[in-house]
Amino acid sequence: MKTRIDFSLTRKRSMGLTRCASFPRVVVTGLGIVCPLGVGVHYVWDRLLQGDCGINAICNSRYDDIPCKVAGYVPHGTGLGQLNLDKEFLRSDLKTLSLASCYGLIAAKEALQDAKWNPSSENEQQETGVAVGMGMVDLSDIILTGKTLEDRGYRYVSPYFVPRILTNMVAGQISIRHKLQGPVHAVSTACTTGLHAIGDAYNFIQRGDASVMVCGGSEAVISPLAIAAFARMRALSTNYNDNPSKASRPFDKNREGFVMSEGAGILILESLEHAEKRNAKIYAEVLGYGLSGDAHHITAPREDGEGAFLCMKSTLSDAELELSTVQYINAHATSTPLGDAAEVRAIKQLFGNHAKAIAISSTKGAVGHLLGAAGSVETIFTVLACFTGNIPPTVNLEETEEDLNFVPVRSQKWPFFRQEERRVALTNSFGFGGTNASLVIGSFNK
């Protein structure tokens, strides 16, 4: 590998890149989730720790000619952990909302309720912002509208078509629904979207642009064209069509592609001062945020893991933490041969001998790859790992060629933890175009 950029604390301070002591601490006070394991944070977390999998077969004749026939759908229905859109929205609302907006609104509602934050005064609304992104729009919306224009003419094109496909509309809908007048920001950086949105929200609070941020990602793009396009890139799993729950298998020797999924993950971040003033429950603290670029290829990561290495190192430097403080990594690992291997190389290069003491898991084995929502859903899992001391498993990991602790199949208790210590974890997200982000999360210590 090439000579490393020096990201030492001394050099960062000389460049003015570290956060000054006056910057507010940022904590997590609310969580909301919609994903293939279900709806509701506590329900999903329990299923995740049990090693359940939310991947199912695609049962639709429109996919007959497509080699991939597995996906991670949000369960719709009226039972426990299922999503009932008719209960959540008026029929007139569903004409204007994309499915991604629906998922984002439901997750945001849960997160705000969990945080017990219902800004009602003008001041509270102005100090609360939104940073929620999506990786790509629903291609089926575009196809259907284009066909309508061609077959039936201009008058039959929905006036809601453009708002339904704008990538900032999830953030906008959340802002409108809850009357939030702080920064309204949308991110669209492929599979890094959710983590970038959280990192940006963290920066907004540290800069004083907001006291509270509703942040994360939402995605709902499963369609024949989307599946076909990713399958043509040879990115998707195709060998487990008859056994869908085994298809997503990060770090496993027999992994051969990712499984496309849908859902949303929303977090409430706020300054510690604001949270303590209102006696809020605090799940964890965001300790640092880092970014990097591969500068390599539009879809493939660098085989040596250089981008991931720089990203994780930058994050720990931002948090001013030693490598030995990290005990858990929620990996981006999507179940692709090249991507998983590159991330492992980066972890070994950065952490050296300490890598063997770190618990590393990819929750994509259970929920698949939520694309633009992946980073935010996985940040929620990382926050809960720090909060509860339980490490979620890497589902379907049966055989690996690596010598690290990938938490195979079953959850584990937090390693090497004493009550007086802080639990510290990293979560990674990497996207097409070579865009990378990492967050470092810590259990809350006053």
Residue of 191, 215, 311, 386 with catalytic role = 191
What is the β-pairing status of strands 184-185 and 70-71? unpaired
Sign of the CA dihedral running 170, 96, 139, 40: positive
d(C-alpha 182, C-alpha 131), whole Å? 10
- Structure-block tokens of residue 35: 């994903």
For β-strands 424-431 and 328-330, DSSP reports them as: parallel
Find the helix or strand (DSSP H, E) in which 201 lies: helix 193-207
Task: With cut-offs at 50, 70 and 90, classify the pLDDT of residue 445.
Answer: confident
Q: Is 59 a catalytic residue?
A: no
**What integer pLDDT is reported at residue 421 of this predicted model?**
81
pLDDT exceeds 70 at position 258: yes
d(CA 203, CA 59): 43
With a CB cutoff of 8 Å and minimum separation 6, the contacts of 239 are 247, 254, 256
pLDDT of the residue at 446: 77
Per-residue pLDDT tens digits for 288-299: 999 999 999 999
In the structure, what pLDDT confidence band is assigned to residue 7 with cuts at 50, 70 and 90?
A: very low
Structure tokens belonging to residue 249 = 């298998």
Split at pLDDT 50, 70, 90, the class of 418 is low
Q: How far apart are CA 370 and CA 73, in angstroms?
A: 10
The whole-angstrom separation of Cα 150 and Cα 23 is: 55
Active site residue 297: no
| Residue reference for tokens 């890497």 | 394
Which residue is catalytic, options 178, 196, 274, 332?
A: 332
Question: Is residue 439 within 8 Å of 291, Cβ to Cβ?
Answer: no
Residue range 139-149: mean pLDDT, rounded: 96
List residues bridging with 76 in a β-sheet: 83
Strands (E), 36-170: 38-39, 56-57, 70-71, 128-133
The confidence score (pLDDT) of residue 10 equals: 40
Contact 207, 213 (CB under 8 A): no
- Within 10 angstroms of residue 70's Cβ, the number of other Cβ atoms is 27
Q: What is the pLDDT of residues 357-367, one digit of tens each?
A: 999 999 999 99
Question: Within 28-121, where are the H helices?
Answer: 41-49, 85-88, 91-96, 99-115
State residue 330's pLDDT score.
98
> For residue 370, what are the contacts with CB-CB under 8 A and spacing of at least 6?
35, 72, 194, 217, 219, 261, 262, 263, 265, 377
What pTM does this model have?
A: 0.94
3-state secondary structure 267-285: EEEEEHHHHHHCCCCCCEE
How crowded is residue 72: how many other Cβ atoms within 10 Å of its Cβ? 27
Nearest to 431 by CA among 235, 256, 226, 142: 235
Q: What is the mean pLDDT of residues 178-204?
A: 98
284: helix, strand or coil: strand
Backbone region of residue 51 per phi and psi (left: phi > 0; alpha: psi in -120 to 50; beta: other values): left
pLDDT tens-digit profile of 27-76? 999 999 999 999 999 999 999 999 999 999 999 999 999 999 999 999 99
To which residue do tokens 């992994």 refer?
Answer: 255
User: Mean pLDDT throughout 432-446?
Assistant: 95
Q: Which of 395, 330, 384, 328 is nearest to 43 (CA)?
A: 384
Residue 256 has pLDDT above 70, yes or no: yes
- Residue type at 24 in one-letter notation: P
Strands 359-361 and 284-293, bridge-based pairing: unpaired
Over the chain, what is the mean pLDDT? Answer: 94
Choosing from 178, 185, 196, 369, the catalytic residue is 369
H/E run at residue 177: helix 169-178
* Annotation says 191 is catalytic: yes
Q: What is the pLDDT of residues 269-278, one digit of tens each?
A: 999 999 999 9
CA-closest candidate to residue 337, choices 295, 400, 294: 400
Which conformational region is residue 171 in: left (phi greater than 0), alpha (psi within -120 to 50 degrees), or beta? alpha
Question: In this predicted model, what pLDDT tens digit does every residue of 313-339 receive, in sequence order?
Answer: 999 999 999 999 999 999 999 999 999
